[in-house]
Chains A and B, each alone.
Chain A
Amino acid sequence: MGLLTKLMAILGFNRREVNVLVVGLNNSGKSTLVNQLKPDEQRATEIVPTVGFNVEKFNNKNVGFTAFDMAGQGRYRELWEHHYKDCQGIIFVVDSSDGLRLVVARDELEALLDHQHIRSKRHLPILVFANKMDVRGALSAVQVSASLGLEKISNKPWHICASNAMTGEGLQEGIEWLTNQIRQSVMLEENS
């Protein structure tokens, strides 16, 4: 890679295309969240439970995101791993008002982190949304983080923020973190 292009990349002139995988239990709000990230005029007016997956595109700071919004229902979760190999970021969505199923979410997250294609990507950023923060009695981001055991993730960058996918609150913060992480990790990868 030439010096100029490197410089451009650092300064953010160079537009990038990245794939991110959006996973989490069913009804956690993945599709709603991804829909909210899309430009106004392209948003769908209604969201239904996903069967299989959906591909959506949105932009953040000159990075073009292609999001694979996966279905979260039990019988579809096996599908996630088909996409582990070629993704540059993971968005894990948790319904923070569903305290009961947090253990299930934790299991799924651990299984994901344990997968060979994920383990081999050292710099893969994991963004967790503690979604549905607006619901009364919802757990805080800190509580969700503790329940998921995020502090144990040592070999990958991770971040958690509370969100409301219906209004978009909290999303921007999370996505900005992800964008920066991806820029860095991609550079690290290219340098190594």
Chain B
Amino acid sequence: MIGFKRDSKKDEEDGGGNPFQNLEKTTVLQEARTFNETPVNPRKCTQILTKILYILNQGEILGTVEATDTFFAMTKLFQSHDVILRRMVYLGIKELAPIAKDLFIVTSSLTTDMTGRENLYRAAAIRALCSITDGNTLQQSIERYMKQAIVDRNAAVSSAALVSSLHMTRFAGEVVKRWVNEAQEAINTDSIMVQYHALGVLYHIRKTDRLAVTKLVAKLTKSTMKSPYALCMLIRITCRLIEEDDVGTNSKLFEFVQSCLRHKSEMVIYEAAHAIVNMKKTGARELAPAVSVLQLFCSSSKPTLRFAAVRTLNKVAMTHPAAVTACNLDLESLITDANRSVATLAITTLLKTGAESSVDRLMKQISSFVSEISDEFKIVVVKAIRALCLKFPRKHSVLMNFLSAMLRDEGGLEYKASIADTIITIIEENPEAKETGLAHLCEFIEDCEHTSLAVRILHLLGKEGPRTKQPSRYIRFIYNRVILENAPVRAAAVSALAQFGALCADLLPNVKVLLARCQMDTDDEVRDRATYYSVILNCNDAVLNNRFIVENTHLSLPTLEKSLHQYTMQPSETPFDARTVPVAAISPSEEARLAAAEEISTKPKTAIATMTREETYAEKLRNIPQLAALGSPFHSSPAVDLTESETEYLVKCVKHVYERHLVFQFICTNTLNDQLLENVHVHLDPLPEGFVVAANIPCQRLPYGEAQSCFTVLTFPDVLAISVGSFGAVMKFSTKDCDPATGLPDSDDSYDDEYMLEDLDVSVADQMQKVAKANFAASWDEAGDENELEDVFALTSMQTLDEAVKNIIQFLGMQPCERSDRVQEGKSSHTLLLSGVFRGNHDVLVRAKLALSEGVTMQLAVRCSDPEVSELVTNSVG
């Protein structure tokens, strides 16, 4: 439903006043008592119901009691036969259903209406009924009416029943499944909507059963369905099958999609074209007819068709540039389209595929109306510019100017963030653009209303500023924030200042003075940071600076919090040792951002700290007494499958690594509904030398369909060199036969059984945590060459540098630094820099010099305070 805007004052001024303005919840609910009066006054009650719906849509919240009272009063209105009032009652019921209690009391009244003679009631009553019912009532009192309604001759009734069925699968999937015959019958009707909705239900019922879907599609693609909506949906289902089964373009399925390009309905034609260009594996031959359809639509007189076509082309511009270039002429004619959305998409599509020479012209065109388009489309423009910058680095100044102009315009957070993101990407990609980019950002934060964005930019200035030719010019911008902004921004500014102090000796005295002033701030966090940095900077120790200012210590915050809490609960003489807290893994989203090439998420980063995999597991492991004693896991690997996907039992394994212990968590699922497994555990055999099983924590009961865990705790060998290896595994358990319907065992008889699992490997990567270093060189020097181990390897199986880089990163489980995971095209040598922390809190740094020559040659240097670790890392690569 379209929300009304509370603050749209303008509408109210020129609309002669909104009669519902300034409604008070309490007054409205008071008025609702009128519902209890007899005889019912339909006009008045309709009015009041309208008010209730209005305030609910304004976001007013009713309590359970208020809602239930109102709901009960509303039920009295069933005595009126006024059609309009009754339909308002249905709406009221649907709105109150999620809050009020005892909804079932209208069940009979609604079933009467849905089966009654008044056609104006029936469809709406079904919808209301669907919102108040639960699985039990559905099965006991309503099921047969639903079945009848699905095959009703009245299309509105049938559609309502089908759509409601879909909604009800949420809580009564099993019941709805039984209506498959009715849905099947409904799909053969003449009504366009009914056919569409019936297909929706049929597909939903069968979608987890691949074979059934294949049959459904095979049958329907042969029949000729009348409904264009149903056909569009069928095309989507077919495409999913094609992609999943990887059947390629020669199949009957693909033929069907292609045949839809010749359908008489534009909707179907478009859907087919859209599907074909979006398929992963379409070749030029299959693409051509689809693209010519889109091309035709580009010059349609209907704006919707033009929009759809150009939007689709825009999306696939990067994947199928050739196809889009074929439409260049048509796109050119759209850049002056009266519809600004169409024009924007046309221009940005051309930008994505066009030549360097056309950039200036297109940018000029788009500047002429950029202020007229909505944020959403401005973001499309920004994305196109980002792609352009990556493609034509030399154009950065034109594009950067354009971006900074956009930055100065009005706009929402998401839009501004996408611009800032783009500028940041450009800076990172293109050293030449760095200084101008930073300058634009500095200017932007002078007048930036979005705290989160200002904080990010300040962080970037702190990171990049000290390494520019003239760091001093940034100090003023940063310090201005300290004077003018709110506390979070001031705190970020303090941190940024400290970076300059640590890295630029000539600025140090100034920074110290500024930080001293910040220690007088009114905000705790700002003062704390200022004090912290001042103390460190006053030591004048480069190693300290590097370790505590330039490199952030990435401790796992939730675990740190837990540990500190525990420490304060049991005070002791010894100071708290931060080294007992595991370092935080780089979270996947962060990782994605660091590695991002084309797509940087434009969503503002959420403020809530997302938990890493380790932290989520740590929560759960702490609840198991035998494991709690081990503390928090240092590293948890992603789950690996130990069984094929369609077997009796599914077993996944997660490896949790502690300082001295290794815990295998086996997540088991029993897919046999006539079996109950008990005492499930995994026996490891053979065990690599040196590993000792310390404990086995079986899973007591494993009923059908639930995922449960059992654990095996091992101690690592004392000698590091043999701490990697491969384990044999067998799942052992005792089985009871049981009744599939209830899941209860038939008798107490049980028999022992076992099930072979795939082998399990423990590698270096499992014992390593990724940790980024902002200044690799400083850390490398700090580690010192006395702890270095070096060796040369020939990686004969690797064909390209890129492949070698990916493999080494994956193999060692370490974090690439200074964007060294990206190999520049055409280069024949590359240096990969990795950093990580090995279990036991050993910092590990790796420098791998790669060169192409009959495969890849690698000169590997490892620096770590523990020579055993260096040796393990080196050996495992070989």
Contact = CB atoms under 8 A, between A and B. Distances in A.
Interface of A: 17, 19, 44, 48-55, 57, 66, 68, 71, 76, 79, 82-83, 85-86
Given A19-B79, A66-B79, A82-B72, A51 B38 contact: no
Interface of B: 36-39, 72, 75-76, 78-79, 81, 102, 104-109, 111-112, 137, 141
B591 to A, nearest CB: 54
Contacts of A85: 36
A82 B76 CA distance: 9
A25 B67 CA distance: 29
Contacts of A68: 79
A17 B141 CA distance: 32
Nearest to B132: A52
Contacts of B105: 51-53, 71, 76, 79
A82 B73 CA distance: 9
A51 B107 contact: yes
Contacts of B137: 51
Contacts of A79: 102, 105
Contacts of B39: 17
Given A52-B106, A85-B36, 17 more contacts: A17-B38, A19-B79, A48-B141, A49-B141, A51-B107, A51-B108, A51-B111, A51-B141, A52-B104, A52-B107, A54-B108, A55-B109, A66-B38, A66-B79, A76-B105, A79-B102, A82-B72
Contacts of A71: 105, 108
Given A17-B39, A86-B38, A55 B106 contact: no
B79 A52 contact: no
Nearest to B112: A54
Name the residue in B36, B81, B107 with the highest tally of chain A Cβ atoms < 10 Å from its Cβ.
Answer: B107
Contacts of B107: 51-52
A55 B141 contact: no
A49 B104 CA distance: 13
Contacts of A52: 75, 104-109
A66 B107 CA distance: 19
B79 A51 contact: no
A53 B109 contact: yes
A29 B108 CA distance: 15
A19 B109 CA distance: 16
Contact of B78 (A50, A55, A76): A55
Name the residue in B79, B107, B108 with the highest tally of chain A Cβ atoms < 10 Å from its Cβ.
Answer: B108
A176 to B, nearest CB: 22
Contacts of A82: 72, 75
Contacts of B78: 55
Contacts of A50: 108
Given A19-B79, A51-B141, A68-B79, A86 B106 contact: no
Contact of A19 (B38, B104, B108, B141): B38
A164 B79 CA distance: 26
Nearest to A41: B117
B33 to A, nearest CB: 11
A82 B69 CA distance: 10
Nearest to A17: B39
14 contacts: A17-B39, A19-B79, A44-B112, A48-B141, A51-B104, A51-B141, A52-B105, A52-B108, A53-B75, A53-B109, A66-B79, A71-B105, A79-B105, A86-B36
B36 A55 contact: no
Contacts of B37: 86
B75 to A, nearest CB: 8
Contact of B108 (A53, A66, A83): A53
B79 A55 contact: yes
B97 to A, nearest CB: 14
A52 B37 CA distance: 20
Nearest to B103: A52
A68 B36 CA distance: 13
Nearest to A19: B38
Closest 10 CB pairs of A and B: A52-B105, A51-B107, A55-B78, A50-B108, A55-B79, A54-B108, A51-B108, A66-B79, A52-B108, A52-B107
A88 to B, nearest CB: 9
B660 to A, nearest CB: 59
Nearest to A79: B105
A79 B36 CA distance: 14
A85 B137 CA distance: 29
A55 B137 CA distance: 20
Name the residue in A52, A55, A71 with the highest tally of chain B Cβ atoms < 10 Å from its Cβ.
Answer: A52
Contacts of B76: 83, 86
Nearest to B102: A79
Contacts of B112: 44, 54
A44 B113 CA distance: 12
B90 to A, nearest CB: 15
B526 to A, nearest CB: 60
Nearest to A49: B141
A51 B102 CA distance: 11
Contacts of B108: 50-54, 71
A119 B75 CA distance: 24
A54 B106 CA distance: 8
Contacts of A48: 141
A35 to B, nearest CB: 11
A54 B112 CA distance: 8
A12 B39 CA distance: 19
Contacts of A55: 78-79, 109
Contacts of B36: 85-86
A11 B8 CA distance: 59
A66 B143 CA distance: 28
A120 B72 CA distance: 22
Contacts of A83: 76
A49 B112 CA distance: 12
B751 to A, nearest CB: 44
A19 B80 CA distance: 12
Nearest to A82: B72
A66 B112 CA distance: 15
B79 A54 contact: no
B645 to A, nearest CB: 44
Contacts of A44: 112
